[in-house]
Amino acid sequence: MKRIGMFVWNPFTNDARVLRECTALVEAGHRVDLYCLNDGTLPEVECPMSGFRVIRIDRTPPFARWLPFFRKRKKRTLVIGVMGALLAPWLIPVMLVLFLLMRSRFIRYALYNSFGILRMTRAARKHDYDVMHANDVNTLPQAIGAARGAQIVYDSHEVQTDRTGYGSMQGKLERWLLHFVNQTIVENDTRADYHQKLYGMRPSVLHNYPFYEPIIPQPRPLREELALAPDEPILLYQGGIQEGR
C-alpha cells in the first residue's frame, strides 16, 4: 500500500478524471488524500463512499474578508487610511494592500492563488506520503513543496502552453518544474507527442475513461421542450464553459 497525496485546483465537485484516478488507486489498495479548493459552501474534510479523503483549502487572505465593507465605503476608507498612516505608520503597508486589492483584479487573483498554494502545501506537509500527484501545472508547485522525498507524478490534463489564460510564461514554468518530476502522464497520444516535442521526453498516456455504467437510451423530445423548429440545428457542448472554448 502506498500513501498518495493528490492535488487539484478546483473545489472537486464534478472532476470526472480526478475522481476516477482516486477511486482506481483506492481499488488497488492505496490510501489517497485529495487536496482541493474550498469555495465556502462545501465541507472542509469529506470522505466519499469511494474510500478516499477530500481536504478542501480556503485561499482567502485574512484581510480580504474586509473588502466588501471597504468597497461600500470608499471615501471613509480613504480618510481612515490617511489618519491611520499619520497615527500608526505600520498600517501603511496594510492599507496599500487593501487599496491594490480593491483596484486590481489581477492582484486579487495573484494574492488569492498565492495563499491557496501556500496553505495547500502546508496542509500536505503535515502528512507523510509515498507519492505526490499533481493535476495540471497549477498544482505542481504544491506537490514539489510538500514532497519531502516522495515521488512526484505530474498529470497534465491540458496543453499547458496553450490553454485559456496561459502562454509562454506557463511553458517556462512547466519546463523548470519538470526537473523535479519523476513521472509525467497525459490523457492521449497527441498530447504525449507534443510534450515530447517541447521537452524531449515522452510522458505515459492515461486515457480518460469514466466509470462503466450500462445505459438504456431513452428518447427525449428536445425540440418540443425547447419549442424548436424541426430543421433547427442542435449543438450539444459538454465540458467547462470558459473563454476560448
Domain boundaries, the chain: 3-61+109-205, 64-106
User: Does residue 93 register a pLDDT over 60?
Assistant: yes
* Angle (deg, nearest 10), helices 92-103 and 74-87: 160
Tell me the pLDDT tens digit for each residue of 209-237.
877 888 888 988 889 999 999 899 988 88
Rounded to whole angstroms, what are the CA distances from 43 to 53, 80, 172, 205?
11, 37, 35, 33
Res 165: pLDDT: 66
CA distance 12 to 184: 22
Tell me the pLDDT tens digit for each residue of 120-138.
999 999 999 999 999 999 9
3-class SS at 223? helix
Res 152: pLDDT: 97
Eight-state DSSP code of residue 171: H
The dotted CATH code for 3-61+109-205 is 3.40.50.2000
Mean pLDDT of 150-159: 92
**70: nearest Cα among 84, 56, 58:** 84
